[in-house]
Amino acid sequence: MIRIDSIWLATEPIDMRIGMDTALAKVVKVFGAARPHHAYLFTNKRSTRIKVLVYDGFGIWLASRRLNKGRFTWVGHGVDMAGLNPEQLRALVTGLPWENLAHGHSISVL
């Protein structure tokens, strides 16, 4: 099990064909650094796929997934930062509507 303390969602897309080194460079460019036990989520340009980079303090885990239905959309235009709770994150990754789920414990998202 990989420990994840914070989840960060980038507002700019990433090329899904990139490998670990390029993804790590993108994380450093967008977030300033790859912090241990943090997950960094990116979407592709069409917002139909998600790529996740996790730095566990020793190495990097990289995974990607096609959204089951539809595409990811932000809550509103011009939003740079949004908080997601665990239920919203699970809904987002499975492609379900996540915006209307209750806001409880919020995860750090950028």
Decide if pLDDT at 31 tops 90. no
CB 47 within 8 A of CB 13: yes
Q: pTM of the prediction?
A: 0.69
Report pLDDT for 30.
86
- As to burial, measured by CB atoms within 10 angstroms (0-12 exposed, 13-18 middle, 19+ buried), residue 50 is buried
Judged against a pLDDT cut of 90, whether residue 36 lies above it is answered with yes
Tokens, residue 64? 């990607």
Is 60 exceeded by the pLDDT of residue 109? Answer: no
Tokens 């790529």, residue?
Answer: 51
**Structure-token pair, residue 56:** 């566990």
More confident residue, 108 or 3: 3
Which DSSP category does 101 fall into? S
Contact 51, 23 (CB under 8 A): yes
pLDDT tens across 59-104, in order?
888 888 887 666 665 554 454 445 566 777 777 666 666 666 665 4
